[in-house]
Chains A and B, each alone.
Chain A
Amino acid sequence: MEFSGKHILSSSVESARLRKLQLVGILCGFGAGAWLGAAEAPTKLVKLGVSPLVVSLLMVVGVFLARWSLPALIRGTGQMRVDIRQAPHLIVWGVLAGCLWAVANTLTIFAIRDIGLSIAFPLWNINSLLGIFWGYLLFNELRDAGKLRWLTVLGGALLMFAGATLLAFASSAQSLAEHPLRGILAALAAGVLWGTMYVPYRKAYLTGMNPLSFIAFFTIGELGMMLTLAMAYGGGPDALLHQLELAKPVLFWLMLGGFVWVIGDLFQQYAAKYIGISRGIPLSNTNQLWGLLWGILVFGELRGLSTSLYTQVIGGSLLMAAGAGAIALSSVTGKEHARWKQAADREGQRYKVDAGYVQAALSGNDASDPSGQPAPQSARTWLDYLLVIAATAIFITLAVLARAPNLALNWTALFALAGAMVIFLLACGLALWKTTRFN
């Protein structure tokens, strides 16, 4: 009797915790959309004569700086050592995911150059459909989820895709496609690479790695791959240095784009961790709506179009929002979560990862805390402070050297959108802190 009472209590605590984590995951998915959408704005500088490879490389350098300083600021780098000891094999997946991101990001810059941001964006957002496929096939997502949840997730993703296509048609009215086939291929390939990049993400989080540790390894693959590409296709080290010299006035803006992207990606990774990739990716793909808002309101895109085209833009946006809403409402059931646990157990057994570590990570707790309560924040060392100071100093130096790009901007809209991003940052950060202490 006592056992039964304890069991009921424990399972109700577990299901309440699960619901809380899902809400945090959904909020993070929407927060990711807002920040990832804003990160695309600096790619407009490609039209100002900076090589796509240099743009991508500089964004990656910004990402690298942010990724080695933000985790140090939030949690201290000491936790990384614990993660490496528990699951050293995940370093390989971290590096692999970084390589995938670097190639995909470079492809998107070629795509934007050839067919414009408005068409390229929805094309590479096919990654959410691929994410649902990989989530189902490889990680037991949506298994035993019931017809209704299948309908809402898949239907929601298809609604978002339809909305994205409508936006693409509307937006293409203004774009001058110089190499349409090449641009479309680049955008589609980027979508496939990004959709597959979530395979390493999910693998890492099922096994228990903290997103803040994973992204640190991710950046090594990302920067290594990007440097190799820039050297190979940019004409060698001398030519690359010359290009960097030419890009000096815009270094800050591009690296800032990388920095903004990191914050969006962190939220995206927490979303992938707590609601899975089949739900997390579509939600973070609301970045297209944010990208469109930046394009229309800040950069003055799509001015002077006909009423029917504006109707398409509004209709496409509403479809995307409806799709995201459907996915957000499709919670993970206890049965489906049990299938996630099976996938996590399979990973743990294969790579001999401590079962307590895997379980604690699935429930957003610290593995070292047997009570299951969030543990206090890890202590930071002098190395963490050094990383934060170095990254900040580099950004300040580049900001001093930077020149404002010669683009007409609507500053009121820019501040309004930046304000919305800050609200998301605070809401997601507080929710993560309260629920998981970033574990």
Chain B
Amino acid sequence: MTDENAAPNSAGVWTMILTDVHFWVPAIVLLAGLVVLHWIR
């Protein structure tokens, strides 16, 4: 019998993170913020 709730391995977790829109929305906004900061400082 397989355990459906078995924790995914590290590579699996990273794949899930990098294909998650919840990661990319803040990541892209962060990059944009850094660009603005670079310009105005």
Chain A residues near B (Cβ < 8 Å): 88-89, 92-93, 96-97, 99-100, 103-104, 106-107, 110, 134, 138, 182, 185-186, 189-190, 192-193, 196-197, 199-200, 203, 229, 233, 350-352, 354-355
Give complex CA distance A110, B40 in Å: 8
Give complex CA distance A182, B37 in Å: 10
A residues less than 8 Å from B37 (CB atoms): 103, 106-107, 110, 186, 189, 229
A residues less than 8 Å from B25 (CB atoms): 134, 138, 196, 199
Chain A to chain B contacts (Cβ below 8 Å), 17 pairs: A93-B23, A96-B23, A96-B27, A97-B26, A100-B26, A103-B37, A104-B33, A110-B41, A138-B21, A189-B32, A196-B25, A200-B22, A200-B26, A350-B16, A350-B20, A351-B16, A352-B8
Q: Which of A182, A193, A197 has the most chain B CB atoms inside 10 A of its CB?
A: A193
B residues less than 8 Å from A199 (CB atoms): 22, 25-26
- Contact between A96 and B30 (Cβ–Cβ < 8 Å)? yes
A residues less than 8 Å from B27 (CB atoms): 96
**CB within 8 Å of A: which of B1-17?**
5-8, 13, 16-17
B residues less than 8 Å from A103 (CB atoms): 30, 33-34, 37
CB distance from A344 to the nearest CB of B (A): 13
B residues less than 8 Å from A186 (CB atoms): 36-37, 40
Shortest 8 CB-CB contacts between residues of A and residues of B = A189-B36, A196-B29, A103-B33, A193-B33, A182-B40, A196-B26, A199-B26, A203-B22
CB distance from A199 to the nearest CB of B (A): 5
Count of chain B residues near A, Cβ 8 A: 23
B residues less than 8 Å from A134 (CB atoms): 25
Answer whether A96 and B26 are a contact pair too, CB < 8 Å, given A107-B37, A186-B40, A352-B7.
yes
A residues less than 8 Å from B23 (CB atoms): 92-93, 96
A residues less than 8 Å from B21 (CB atoms): 138
CB distance from A264 to the nearest CB of B (A): 21
Residue of A nearest to B6 (CB): A352
Residue of A nearest to B25 (CB): A199
Residue of B nearest to A138 (CB): B22
B13 partner, pick from A89, A100, A192, beta carbons under 8 A? A89
A residues less than 8 Å from B20 (CB atoms): 350
Give complex CA distance A36, B9 in Å: 39
Give complex CA distance A335, B4 in Å: 29
Q: Which of B7, B17, B26, B32 has the most chain A CB atoms inside 10 A of its CB?
A: B26
Residue of B nearest to A190 (CB): B33
B residues less than 8 Å from A196 (CB atoms): 25-26, 29
Give complex CA distance A189, B16 in Å: 29
CB distance from A177 to the nearest CB of B (A): 14
Residue of A nearest to B38 (CB): A233
CB distance from A90 to the nearest CB of B (A): 10
B residues less than 8 Å from A96 (CB atoms): 23, 26-27, 30
A residues less than 8 Å from B34 (CB atoms): 103
- Contact between A88 and B13 (Cβ–Cβ < 8 Å)? yes
Given A100-B30, A104-B33, A352-B6, 4 additional A-B pairs, CB 8 A: A96-B30, A185-B36, A186-B37, A196-B25
Answer whether A107 and B16 are a contact pair too, CB < 8 Å, given A197-B26, A352-B7.
no
Answer whether A189 and B33 are a contact pair too, CB < 8 Å, given A89-B13, A197-B26, A199-B25.
yes
